[in-house]
Structure 1
Amino acid sequence: MLHKPIIKTELPGPKAKQIIEDDTEYVTPSFYRYPYKLVVEKGYGVWIEDTDGNVFMDCNAGIAVCSTGHCHPEVVEAITKQTQTLIHMCGTNYYYHHMPALAKKLDELVPIKVPTRTYFATSGAEAVEAALKLAMYHTKRQKFISFIGSFHGRSLATLSLTASKRIHQVGYMRHLLDVINVPYPNKLRSPFANVTDDESASKATINWIENIVFKTTTPAEDVAGIVVEAVQGEGGYIPAPKNFLKELRRICNENGILLIVDEVHSGMGRTGKMFATDHYDVEPDIMCLSKGIGSGLPIGVCVARADIMNWPRGAHASTFSGNPVCIASALKTIELLENGLTENARIVGNYLKDGLLKLQDKYDCIGDVRGLGLMIGVEIVESKQTMKPTAELRDKIETACYNRGLLIFGGGGVSVIRWAPPLILTKENVDVALEIFDEAIKVSV
């Protein structure tokens, strides 16, 4: 069993360099690539091996996707078994037991107390697209409210909501949907005056919605849904303040608006509870899930109150909805999450966060450490005195970690390092990762 990364060659190695050259010539340049150049050959547990035989500890899990680790043997067995009987027969036209089995399980798990129905998709963006169409169909309204720093997808409809990076928007002209983006409550980066803590940040945003947005550009009676992440993902792993989601729930109740919670990034055990929303005791009308639900297979779901998801035959569908292989993986993933991995995320996540907080005390360039479970953001700044973000230093630290065998990833606009390892991570793994991270900062500042 591996205990530490193994780096055998210069990075990237000779085989990797050739693949990168081919990729540059033949693959779309629109894909975002991290500052370091990793060419993946295989994965097992918390480890990634590149094409030259270098082994890395993976603390990003394929961007929070491989929740049970890479190639978990029970997940592989479930996938293999399913591929031997049925791979595809278009669940939007025919019936098979896989879809109601997963939908029934989700009905038991989601924090929606009334009966639910589930729409199956192949990605988070598709799940959010379904939620938007459903909200418009149900409410007969067309406007939405989203938040600065949010990421809900890159399709034309979800791009109307997404507000995390300029590059996502450049060149696509007008938005497809009528969306207003308001500031997400972030005490460190709030545009509002007199914001000093989570409570004042939350109050400022709620006040902006009720007393500015509703009274000027976006009347409440025209709003179909408020779309929010309980923990912003691309925004920098920012947990919502304690009462913020409850206040959004109140606004929705008072104005006939649907509360749509995007748990694509934060759901499925990552925060130490099955859903990040579970930390807030709030009941959404619609939830969107993807990433960690399939342990690496492409599946997304939109779960809604049954009385809302009451659209007619043919109103929305997709050829690959409810793929049986993906659902087999999802059902096994949920089983593993319920049988210890969600609790492990809580315990090991707290251990990792404590270690990162100690490094914050040690280094002037760590401005903030925040998050829930194994979804932790470390904000890199020029100094604690100025709290000025620095993407350059963030990238240097990322690359220094890579060169030492640790995979982490950036986000949060310009200067956040995100930790989203597989939920099988151990305290022993954390000790190794923190040692590398400490050294990487030391050589980068």
Structure 2
Amino acid sequence: MDYPEITRAQGHYLYDGDERAFYDLISGFGTVFLGHCDKTVVEAVHQQMQQYGAIGRLPSEIRRRCFELINQLLPDSHGLDVIGSTGMESNEYAGKLAAVVSGKQRFIAFENTMHGKSVFTSSLSWQNAPVKCGQNVLLPFPTEETEEDVLIMLADCLKSGDFAGCYLEPLRGSCDGAIASLTFREQLVALCKQHGVVSIFDETLTGLYRTGPLFMASELSQFPDILIFAKSIGNGVPASCVASNIAQFHHQRALKGSTFSDNPVACAAILATLEAITERIQPSEISRVEQTFVGFQKRFEQYGCELRGKGLLWVLACRSEAQANHFFDTLISHNYLVSKFGENIRFLPKMNTEASTIESVLSLLLTQAKVG
């Protein structure tokens, strides 16, 4: 079954040309956190567009206020470096910055994570990337069973002295929902620091309360050198941030900035989104949604499926692509929209999603699993 052609959106819902309403669990691939056409964000963007939309990275009040607010989210050791338009662009800049600081050209990353689809970032994500970029190394993504072995492999790479940086997407949100454990994340940052390699956490998808905490990096005793976040920070307006503990004199050599970096409209959307999140977020409700997913994990295991995730980011890894296709069709026929890639179905609820809605969706899929 194909996706419907969307003509408008409001809150949790997308509508087709016949005004059929679909409950949206795609959320613009995680960009829409407050809900579609949120009044606060729409008005802020409209007001900014009436003043100016692009001024070529000249200083502006809206940029200053945006940077000040974002810096309040970060530890004192870190500061916002640049606002880009996509996670891919931010990952590209993080790589350039690590290369300038280290004088090295090679990078370490983990298989089947998502850092973007440019030549460089796709080479950090998939073994079968169309273009190989440099001599980057992709290690297996750590699981409970393989974590110790992967740490040994990582340490061996770092000892070589050949690498500029190490990228980690802490929750594999565009694959199977696997999570790198807190211990692994702590060890990665510590090992990178020990060997003078820049640690880079890509929280394009997981950042800004998507998984519960502000960032998954916030759970660590030691923050990574570079943090990339968060596609939801503009509530649908293209925006992504790079923050680091790297001295400013390195940044010009890293070729910071692009046509739309630090864009005033993006800054307006970010300010409105962050203010709305601060006013409306209810951690107890996010926890209730998370516990609803957790409560279905063992029930899906009986039918060969793995439900993995955290907070408001979950993936159902089905036993086959045929089963995933069947689940996908079932959801559309019941007016729910989700992302599907291969054997995986992804759920990206919005900030104010009710646990009862998630229970209805998962119960529907569980019924389908039982009948085959």
TM above 0.5, yes or no, is: yes
Say if 1:274 and 1:342, in contact at 8 Å, map to a contact too: no
SS of match in other structure, 2:90: helix
Change (3 A) 1:50 1:78: same
Percent identical among aligned pairs is: 23
Aligned to 1:409: 339
Paired residue for 1:98?
62
CA-CA distance at 1:148 after TM superposition: 0.7
- DSSP-derived class of the 2:3 partner: coil
Give per-residue Cα distances to partners, 1:159-189, cap 9 Å, x unaligned. Answer: 221127x4xx24x3xx2333100011124xx
1:137 and 1:315 mapped to 2: Cα distance?
A: 10
Indicate which of 193, 196, 203 corresponds to 1:256.
Answer: 196
1:97-149 superposed Cα distances (whole Å, 9 cap, x missing partner): 22232222222213x44142421211110000010011101111111100011
Tell me the residue number matched to 1:209: 154
For 1:338 and 1:429, how far apart are their aligned partners in 2? 23
Partner of 1:12: none
Return the alpha-carbon distance in structure 1 between the equivalents of residues 285 and 101 of structure 2: 36
Q: Does 1:393 align with 2:357?
A: no
Counterpart for residue 191 of structure 1:
none
Deviation at 1:307, TM superposition (A): 1.6
**CA RMSD between the two structures:** 2.2
In the alignment, which of 358, 367, 372 is matched to residue 430 of structure 1? 358
Amino acid at match of 2:265: V
* In structure 1, distance between residues paired with 2:108 and 2:279: 37
Deviation at 1:416, TM superposition (A): 2.2
Q: Provide the C-alpha distance between the structure 1 equivalents of 2:248 and 2:198, rounded to a whole number of angstroms.
A: 9
Structure 2 unaligned regions, length at least 5? none
Distance 1:101 1:60 in 2: 30
In structure 2, the residue matched to 1:178 is 135
Q: Distance in 1 between matches of 2:340 and 2:3?
A: 14
State the one-letter code of the partner of 2:337.
L
Contact 1:345 1:374 in 2 (8 A): no
Give the letter for the 1:185 counterpart: P
SS in structure 1 opposite 2:51?
A: coil
Q: Which residue of 163, 173, 183 maps to 1:223?
A: 163
Matches within 5 A, 1:299-310: 299-307=239-247, 310=250
CA distance in 1, matches of 2:226, 2:183: 19
**Are 2:55 and 1:107 aligned?**
no
Contact 1:269 1:342 in 2 (8 A): no
- The letter of the residue matching 1:44 is Q
CA shift in 2, pair 1:441/1:55, >3 Å: farther
User: Would the aligned equivalents of 1:271 and 1:345 in 2 still touch at CA under 8 Å?
Assistant: no
Query: Which one of 16, 34, 49 corresponds to residue 50 of structure 1?
Result: 16
Q: 1:336 to 1:343 in 2, by over 3 A?
A: farther
Count of residues in correspondence between the two structures: 372
Matched, 1:268 2:196: no
Find the aligned partners of 2:330 and 2:192 in 1 and give their Cα distance.
46
Alignment partner of 1:149 out of 107, 112, 115? 112
Q: 1:308 to 1:284 in 2, by over 3 A?
A: farther
Tell me the CA shift for residue 344 of structure 1. Answer: 5.4
Match of 1:325 among 237, 254, 265: 265
Q: Is 2:255 the counterpart of 1:315?
A: yes
Is 1:60 aligned to residue 26 of structure 2?
Answer: yes
Instruction: Check whether the contact 2:158–2:195 (CA below 8 A) recurs between aligned residues.
Output: no
Kindly provide the CA deviation profile for residues 294-330 of structure 1, in whole angstroms up to 9, marking residues without a partner as x: 1001112211114266333783321111111111111
Q: Structure 2 vs 1, CA of residues 301 and 177 (structure 1 numbering), >3 Å: closer, same or farther?
A: farther
1:335 maps onto 2:275 in alignment? yes
- The aligned amino acid for 2:264 is P
Deviation at 1:243, TM superposition (A): 0.3
Cα deviation code 1:213-244 (max 9, x no counterpart): 357xxx2x221100001112213222211200
* Distance in 2, Cα, partners of 1:240 & 1:305: 23
Matched, 1:237 2:177: yes
Measured in 1, the distance between the counterparts of 2:177 and 2:15 equals: 27
Aligned residue identity for 1:375:
L
Please list every run of 5 or more consecutive structure 1 residues that lacks an aligned counterpart in the other structure: 1-34, 188-194, 196-200, 382-389
Tell me the distance in 1 between the aligned counterparts of 2:290 and 2:80. Answer: 34
Matched, 1:36 2:6: no
Alignment of 1:418 onto 2:346: yes
SS in 2 for 1:243: helix
Residues 28-60 of structure 1: CA distance to partner in whole angstroms, max 9, x if unpaired? xxxxxxx63221111111111112221111112
Assess if the C-alpha contact under 8 Å between 1:160 and 1:178 holds in 2. no
Give the AA of the match of 1:398: F
2:227/2:243 contact within 8 Å kept:
yes
8 Å CA contact 1:113–1:283 kept in 2: the answer is no
Change (3 A) 1:344 1:79: farther
